[in-house]
């Protein structure tokens, strides 16, 4: 962190004095702005945080949601991305609340009995040491919170303008050549249109970008047409690798990616649902029920929300292990102890089940 550039700073050096357009920044969206950013995902928030350092530039960032992202979307943060967080001064704080990925386990069908799974390998996550920072798991919402804090403490005192949906834009002439049509998505003015003129518009509105469509562009590159069910799960289990990132493959062709979440209790489960139609929302080529998994869930105490595209929170009971002598054996959904998984390195105490919340 660098400060004392222009004399002694005795307060919090993260909070910079308000200046320029930050001194009398209006609460409402003005009619004219220098830069209008559409979308408060990582791309939009990083751009806004960077621009918030320039007191002479009027930047606004609009978002159709009524408020901050609460749950969902990305959780895996590559180590090189944490270097970017360091540039904004919040790497240490986000590392402290994150789960660190240090290794990955691979579970495959047991060669002796394909109805069961066995751990096939355990590999270090970053054998080459790509960065001084770790590979993290932390809710995307927290990343966005830190960028929001940065811009709120920057000279322009910026905060996202929630509850505005981008509809269209036209490019003309003049000092503010881009005419943008927005609609209020919440509050007393819900449904009402408004127009903002901008010098520049940044389309950070995600994969199905309306800004991109408005300027006549299409996405270049490859797209995968594959569906994954995603859940954040609070489980009762003693699956030995529940606190390790795992790729789990069943003999019937189903696969699960298991990623422990920050905070020590939840984990995220991606379940392979198969190929979907190129339009993106069609049925899976192979229905989930036919893609049996060795980590099938015998009981589920609470499932407030799940999705095929974004994560919710579930609470469930997974297959349990039995303890025999000094070793622990993993039981698959068939319910019998699995000797191939017996290992002194998998003590039951390490994965002791916690009571499920109702
Ligand atoms: C379930 C899931 C898990 C993922 N896991 C990972 C992971 O572990 N690691 C990783 O690196 N990536 C992951 N990703 C991908 C990651 O979330 C995206 O790459 C990233 O969010 C893209 O950022 P973005 O800012 O471009 O767009 P987005 O994050 O999609 O943000 C776009 C924003 O624009 C807003 N918006 C859209 N249209 C409009 C409009 N017309 N008007 C106003 N606002 C609008 C949206 O509400 C949204 O807030 C995951 C994605 C999903 C869905």
Confidence of residue 334 (pLDDT cuts 50, 70, 90): very low
- State whether the beta carbon of 40 lies less than 6 angstroms from ligand 1: yes
**CA neighbor of 104 nearest in space, from 238, 256, 246, 259:** 246
More confident residue, 314 or 264: 264
- State whether the beta carbon of 210 lies less than 6 angstroms from ligand 1: yes
Integer CA distances (angstroms), 178 to 35, 85, 131, 168, 321, in order:
10, 31, 41, 10, 62
CA 175 from centre of chain: 38
- State whether the beta carbon of 319 lies less than 6 angstroms from ligand 1: no
Q: Is the pTM of this model over 0.75?
A: yes
The pLDDT tens digits for 138-178 are 999 999 999 999 999 999 999 999 999 999 999 999 999 99
Is residue 347 pLDDT above 70, yes or no?
no
CA atoms within 13 A on the CB side of 242: 28
Q: Do β-strands 178-184 and 164-171 pair in parallel, antiparallel, or remain unpaired?
A: antiparallel
**What integer pLDDT is reported at residue 284 of this predicted model?**
54
Cβ contacts of 185-194, under 8 Å, gap ≥ 24 = 185/64, 185/65, 185/66, 186/66, 186/162, 187/66, 187/163, 193/167, 194/29, 194/164
* φ/ψ of residue 236, rounded to 5: -100, 110
Residue 211 Cα to ligand 1 midpoint, Å, equals 15
- Report all structural domains of the chain as residue ranges with CATH numbers, in order of start: 20-71+140-214 (3.50.50.60), 103-126+225-351 (3.30.9.10)
């Amino acid at each position: 962190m660098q400060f004392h550039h222009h004399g002694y700073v005795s307060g919090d050096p993260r909070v910079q004095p308000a200046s320029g357009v930050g001194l009398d920044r209006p609460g409402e969206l003005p009619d004219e702005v220098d830069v209008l950013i559409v979308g408060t995902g990582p791309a939009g928030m990083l751009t806004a945080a960077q621009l918030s350092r320039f007191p002479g530039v009027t930047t606004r960032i609009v978002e159709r949601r009524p408020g901050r992202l609460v749950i969902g979307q990305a959780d895996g943060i590559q180590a090189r991305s944490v270097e970017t967080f360091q540039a904004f001064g919040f790497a240490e704080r986000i590392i402290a609340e994150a789960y660190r990925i240090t290794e990955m386990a691979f579970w495959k069908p047991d060669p002796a009995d394909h109805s069961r799974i066995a751990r096939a390998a355990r590999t270090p996550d970053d054998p080459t040491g790509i960065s001084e920072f770790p590979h993290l798991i932390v809710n995307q919402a927290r990343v966005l919170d830190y960028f929001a804090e940065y811009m709120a403490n920057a000279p322009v005192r910026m905060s996202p303008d929630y509850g505005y949906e981008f509809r269209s834009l036209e490019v003309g002439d003049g000092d503010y050549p881009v005419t943008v049509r927005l609609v209020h998505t919440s509050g007393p003015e819900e449904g009402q249109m408004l127009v903002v003129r901008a010098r520049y518009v940044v389309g950070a509105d995600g994969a199905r970008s309306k800004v991109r469509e408005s300027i006549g562009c299409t996405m270049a590159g490859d797209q995968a047409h594959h569906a994954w069910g995603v859940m954040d799960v609070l489980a009762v289990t003693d699956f030995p690798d529940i606190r390790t990132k795992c790729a789990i493959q069943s003999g019937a062709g189903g696969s699960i990616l298991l990623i422990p979440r920050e905070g020590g209790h939840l984990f995220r489960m991606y379940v392979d649902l198969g190929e979907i139609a190129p339009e993106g929302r069609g049925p899976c080529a192979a229905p989930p029920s036919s893609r049996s998994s060795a980590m099938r869930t015998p009981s589920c105490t609470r499932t407030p929300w799940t999705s095929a595209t974004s994560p919710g929170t579930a609470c469930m009971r997974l297959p349990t292990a039995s303890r025999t002598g000094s070793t622990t054996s993993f039981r698959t959904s068939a319910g019998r102890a699995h000797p191939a998984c017996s290992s002194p390195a998998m003590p039951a105490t390490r994965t002791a089940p916690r009571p499920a919340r109702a």
